[in-house]
Chain A
Amino acid sequence: QLQLVESGGGVVQPGGSLRLSCAAFGFPFNGFAMHWVRQTPGKGLEWVAIIWFDGGNKFYADSVKGRFTVSRDNSEKTLFLEMNSLRAEDTAVYYCARGYCSGGYCYTLDHWGQGTLVTVSS
């Protein structure tokens, strides 16, 4: 059964770092692009990053560029998000999602994890 399971969320002080993981089950992980999306409690969805199936291409939202790094380990079927220089405004539920490709564009998010909460607070 296809499943995405995020972990690594928690409380961190401003300026701190955190690493999120997303374990994939039930599909050929190395054949799909993967995304991170976040949602501030009570607010809308904000796209964070994409990593190509082979890790060869990565793109980020302007709000996290230079502070966050997306990576993947295809042998372990795991996606990561390294978050540095965290700010209060990074507080959110972070979701990983699988990217379905159409016409060479892999920006349809066809399966999502349950999310992990990151709270940036002193």
Chain B
Amino acid sequence: QSALTQPASVSGSSGESITISCAESNSDVGSFHYVSWYQQHPGKAPKLMIYDVSDRPSGVSNRFSASKSGNTASLTISGLQTEDEADYYCSSYTSSSTLVFGTGTKVIVL
């Protein structure tokens, strides 16, 4: 049972900004410092978009940004584009030296 809760879906029109939340609901999740975000298109492997809460790997568009406040992390996609339509997952290291993924959010571009 995931300790990271995400909305099932978030939608927005092209050019708009959307935010996906990732709420920690289990104290077993570590200090929540090591939060990552992954993008997954249908039939494809996940792709790292954000790590260490707010850092972007090289090659990831700066339209993707992230932050954390208390027990909730957030991913914001600015200037929404059709290719952003995908599933997004947060993840966090846990105090048991394991990794937990969020429940996943489907982003729909209207």
| A-to-B contact residues, CB < 8 Å | 35, 37, 44-47, 50, 57, 59-61, 95, 100, 102-103, 105, 107-115
In the bound complex, what is the Cα–Cα distance between A2 and B55 (angstroms)? 21
For B101, what are the chain A residues with a Cβ–Cβ distance below 8 Å? 37, 44-47
Apart from A44-B104, A108-B51, list 8 A-B contacts with CB within 8 A. Answer: A45-B38, A45-B91, A57-B97, A105-B93, A109-B36, A110-B51, A113-B45, A114-B45
Assuming the A-B contacts A47-B101, A107-B91, A109-B48, are A102 and B34 also in contact, with contact meaning beta carbons closer than 8 angstroms in the complex? yes
Contact assessment for A107 and B47 in the assembled complex, using a CB-CB cutoff below 8 Å? no
Contact assessment for B104 and A45 in the assembled complex, using a CB-CB cutoff below 8 Å? yes
> How far in angstroms is the closest Cβ of chain B from A104?
10
In the bound complex, what is the Cα–Cα distance between A44 and B2 (angstroms)? 10
In the bound complex, what is the Cα–Cα distance between A115 and B52 (angstroms)? 25
- How many residues in B have their beta carbons less than 8 Å from beta carbons of A? 25
> How far in angstroms is the closest Cβ of chain B from A63?
10
> Does B46 touch A at the CB level, under 8 Å?
yes
Contact assessment for B46 and A109 in the assembled complex, using a CB-CB cutoff below 8 Å? yes
For B67, what are the chain A residues with a Cβ–Cβ distance below 8 Å? none
- B1-18: CB near A (< 8 Å → 1, else 0) gives 010000000000000000
For B97, what are the chain A residues with a Cβ–Cβ distance below 8 Å? 50, 57, 59
> Does B89 touch A at the CB level, under 8 Å?
yes
For B46, what are the chain A residues with a Cβ–Cβ distance below 8 Å? 37, 45, 95, 109, 112
| B-to-A contact residues, CB < 8 Å | 2, 33-34, 36, 38, 40, 45-48, 51-52, 57, 89, 91, 93, 96-104
In the bound complex, what is the Cα–Cα distance between A95 and B103 (angstroms)? 18
For A102, what are the chain B residues with a Cβ–Cβ distance below 8 Å? 34, 51-52
> How far in angstroms is the closest Cβ of chain A from B24?
15
In the bound complex, what is the Cα–Cα distance between A108 and B57 (angstroms)? 11
Contact assessment for B34 and A107 in the assembled complex, using a CB-CB cutoff below 8 Å? yes
For B33, what are the chain A residues with a Cβ–Cβ distance below 8 Å? 103
With CB as the reference atom, state the residue of chain B lying closest to A57. Answer: B97
